[in-house]
Amino acid sequence: MVKLNRKFCIAPMMDCSDRHSRYFLRLFSKNILLYTEMITAVAIIHGDRDYLLGFSNQEHPVAVQIGGSDPEQLYRVARICEEYGYDEINLNCGCPSDRVQSGSFGACLMADPGRVADCIRALRSGSSLPVTVKHRTGIDQQDEYMIFSQFAAIQIEAGAVALIVHARNAWLSGISPKQNREIPPLKYDWVYRLKQDFPDTEVIINGGIKTLESCQQHLTRVDGVMLGREAYQNPWVLHNVDALLFGEQSRPKSRHVLLQEIYPYIERQLAQGMPLTKMIRHIIGLFHGEPNARQWRRHLSENAWRNSAGIQTLYEAESLVNQP
């Protein structure tokens, strides 16, 4: 099995990281590791698997993030995910939402490291895919590095090949998931120290990172960087990632070239009955900060929902943006 390059990853984001988003982001780089949004083990076992897990070959390398805490279910899910062709299975131990807590998974699992270890062993038993964990620096007001470090050690012992750390605590009550990405203070130094303590384990840092220049700085201390909302809201931030982070010599694509490359995919999806709105919401931030970007966004927002909306709607929106 080819070893995955986790130097730069795009975070799993609920209601954002679907197959259309991943196809678009792949156009920016052949090297970045993409993730699905969190999919619950129960949904995979009992739901529409093709809808939940289906993806295009062009998306590789792509990892699936699973939410769950029942080792028996996770064993079954691991087998299914391997059959679908994913490159990695990631266990969510970082989401603080009430819905996730009610299912006894996500960030609340950090209070039960033994259960997490059982989950990792089940995932590893169910497939040959590498298993990773995405977690926080702790929960609520816990502020002891050793508790964080011990959690990591237990997961490494169970077989996690990489730890993806959102460098904030997850507050399990009192604030929203959005606030949980902003209010708890960042603890980058904890993640750097974790890498020093576990030099043989890949450590990927996440949280509050907005530029590739910041990524370069973090990469002097850890193995990889994961970018989240910034890459979704302002995808152009990725345009030079292969050159800056992977040493590629290829010239970055322009915004308009990227649109030309996504159009055939959108046309194929439209022909299969996929509504235009399901796809354009992922590309609407492409011209962020550019002249006439507001006109681009407005035209799509006002017209993409119409029954008659098709690829022509995108052509019209693009014509409103200054050409290079």
Same domain, 155 and 132: yes
> How far, in Å, are 99, 222, 323 from residue 6 at the CA level?
29, 11, 35
User: Tell me, what's the pLDDT at 252?
Assistant: 86
Residue 181 lies in a domain: yes
Residue 273: its H or E element: none
Burial class of 296 by CB neighbour count within 10 A (0 to 12, 13 to 18, 19+): buried
> What CATH number does residue 292 fall under?
1.20.120.1460
pLDDT in the model for residue 98: 67
DSSP 220-233: TTSSEEEE-HHHHH
Task: Please check the confidence at residue 262 and state whether its pLDDT lies above 80.
Answer: yes
Same domain, 206 and 294: no
Q: Which domain holds residue 282?
A: 255-319
* CA dist., res. 81 & res. 89, Å (int): 8
- C-alpha span between 66 and 43 (Å, rounded): 10
Report if residue 2 sits inside a domain: no
- At 198-222, the pLDDT tens digits run 999 999 999 999 999 999 999 999 9
The per-residue pLDDT for 323 is 55
Establish if 292 belongs to a structural domain.
Answer: yes
Contacts of 115 (CB under 8 A, 6+ apart): 69, 109
Q: Is pLDDT at 97 greater than 80 in this prediction?
A: no
Which of the pair, 102 or 122, is modelled with greater confidence?
Answer: 122
Residue 195 identity:
K
Mean pLDDT of the 38-50 span: 96
**Domain boundary, last residue among 246, 279, 307:** 246
Percentage of the chain modeled with pLDDT above 90: 84
What is the pLDDT at residue 175?
Answer: 82
Whether 144 and 291 map to the same domain: the answer is: no
Would you place residue 13 in the very low, low, confident or very high pLDDT band (cuts 50, 70, 90)? Answer: very high
Is the predicted pLDDT of residue 1 greater than 70, yes or no? no
Band (87; pLDDT cuts 50, 70, 90) = very high
Instruction: Single out the residue in 246, 281, 310 at which a domain terminates.
Output: 246
Alpha helices in the chain (DSSP H): 19-26, 41-46, 49-53, 71-84, 98-102, 113-126, 145-158, 177-180, 188-197, 212-218, 229-233, 241-246, 255-271, 276-280, 293-303, 311-319
CB atoms within 10 A of CB 273: 6
Beta bridge partners of residue 35, listed in sequence order: 63
Catalytic, 95? Answer: yes
- Mean pLDDT on 110-139: 97
Whether residue 153 is found in the same domain as residue 190? yes
Total number of domains constituting the chain? 2
pLDDT of residue 100: 64
Please tell me the distance from the alpha carbon of residue 159 to that of residue 75, in angstroms, as a whole number: 14
Assess whether 53 and 192 both reside in one domain: yes
pLDDT interval class at 308 (50, 70, 90): confident
Which tokens hold the place of 67? 């939410």
Whether 124 shows a pLDDT value over 90: the answer reads yes
Q: Average pLDDT for residues 111-124, to the nearest whole number? A: 97
> Do 173 and 116 fall within a single domain?
yes
Within 8 A by CB and 6+ apart from 59, the residues are 19, 22, 23, 26, 34
pLDDT at 73 over 70: yes
Q: Is residue 1 domain-resident?
A: no
pLDDT higher than threshold 60 for residue 324: no
CA angle 44, 47, 48 (to 5 degrees): 100
| pLDDT tier for residue 82 given thresholds of 50, 70 and 90 | very high
Q: Check whether residue 180 and residue 34 sit in a common domain.
A: yes
Which pLDDT score, from 0 to 100, does residue 260 have? Answer: 94
List the CATH number of the domain containing 105. 3.20.20.70
Asked, for residue 157, whether it belongs to a domain, the answer is: yes
In whole angstroms, how far apart are CA 130 and each of 15, 160, 199, 276? 25, 8, 18, 35
- Pair 35, 63: CB distance under 8 Å: yes
Question: Is position 214 within any domain?
Answer: yes
Same domain membership, residue 91 and residue 61: yes
Distance between CA atoms of residues 128 and 194, nearest Å? 26
Catalytic one of 95, 108, 119, 215: 95
Tell me whether residue 163 is in a domain: yes
Residue 242 sits in the same domain as residue 261? no
Are residues 150 and 272 located together in one domain of the fold?
Answer: no
Asked if residue 194 belongs to a domain, the reply is yes
* Per-residue model confidence (pLDDT) at position 103: 60
pLDDT, position 221: 98
Instruction: Assess whether 311 and 193 both reside in one domain.
Output: no
Rounded Cα distance, 175 and 179, in Å: 6
* Same domain for 306 and 190: no
pLDDT of residue 173: 82
Of 196, 217, 246, the last residue of a domain is 246
Q: What is the pLDDT of residue 276?
A: 94
Give the mean pLDDT of the chain: 93
